[in-house]
Every structure is written in C-alpha cells, then in structure tokens.
Amino acid sequence: LMIDELPTLVLLLARQDPGGARVRAFLQWFRNLRQLPRGAEHLRFVLAGSIGLDNVTRRHRLTDTINDLRDWRLGPFTRENADRFLAELARGHQLELGPELRAAICDHAEWLIPYHLQVIFSALRELCGPRTPPSPALLDRAIEALLSRKAYFGYWDERLHDAFGAPDDERARAILATCA
C-alpha cells in the first residue's frame, strides 16, 4: 500500500492536539498494523512525502513509532531519465521537443525531479501554439514567467516551517540564502 503525504497528515493531527496524544495514538496504531503477523507477511507499506516522516516524528519526539521503517529515498532523475521523461511528456502532448530543448529544460531545473520538469514543461507548453513551436526563446520566457509566480516557491518556504519548526526553519533559510 502506498500512502502519499503521510507526514502532512501527522502534522495536521499534531496541530489539532498540541499535547501530542492524538498523533501518538495514530502512529502507534499504524505501527501495530504494520507489525501484525499476517499483515507483515502479505503487505508492504510505501510511505511517501515531500517533508519526510522522520523529520516530523523527530520534531514531536515520536521516533519510537516509526523505528521499524526503512528509509528509502528516490532522489532526482538521472540526466538520461529526465530526458526520456520530457520526451514522453512532449509525445503525450503532441509537442515537438528536440534534444537540445530538453537539455535546456534540465539545465534550468537543475534538480531533476518530476515536479520541476513538469512545471517548466507546462509553462513552455502554455506559450506554444499551432504556429508557435517550442524554442529556446520561448523557454526563457517560460522560465521568467515561472520565477515571477511566487506561489510555486512559497510552498517550499512553508514546508521549511512544517518540516523543521521554529527556530530551525529560520536557520534553514539562512543556510539556503548563503548557498544561493
């Protein structure tokens, strides 16, 4: 069973009960479910989330409820897989996207995760039309349009608070600002 964004659910439970009893009860119930003999033989759980359940449970001192889980990070695409991903996106949308333009999208994305590639592809596609094929100039316009939309990046800023809480979220911002 794949459960996406479980850390977000845990954060919501923690906000509803600052004492932590509700989130502890939920995580303990879920741990017990995972460890039932018949369940352990027949079920595998894949827990996904952009924050990381380990960060959330550490913050709320609940790591004992997940110490039976194995950490498995997917990471970004390789450059080759990102290229194939973009080629398939283009094919699915009947858009001619040559190798040079796919490489340029990857260069702009830097971190080759599907979300970033899809956002850039979508912004480029919005600028294309029946008589306006994708081009490096249109890609540059698409990137500028994306950078002007703060909503895409505000989400990541909010996630720093969700993942780390105060004051660690401010420390993370200071580190990111220095790196940038």
pLDDT at 42: 83
pLDDT at 148: 85
pLDDT at 106: 97
How does pLDDT run across 42-58, given as a tens digit for each residue? 888 899 887 788 888 98
- Contact by Cβ (8 Å): 11, 52: no
DSSP type of residue 3: E
What residues in the chain have per-residue pLDDT under 50?
none
pLDDT at 112: 95
pLDDT at 41: 78
Q: Which two tokens stand for residue 19?
A: 């004492």
pLDDT at 89: 96
- Cβ neighbourhood burial of 139 (10 Å; 0-12, 13-18, 19+): buried
pLDDT at 135: 94
Residue 93, classed as helix, strand or coil, is coil
pLDDT at 79: 97
H or E segment and range at residue 48: strand 46-48
pTM of the model: 0.70
| Chain position carrying tokens 């890609």 | 139
How does pLDDT run across 107-137, given as a tens digit for each residue? 999 989 998 999 999 999 999 988 889 999 9
pLDDT at 161: 78
Q: What is the CA radius of gyration of the chain?
A: 21
| Chain position carrying tokens 């409820």 | 65
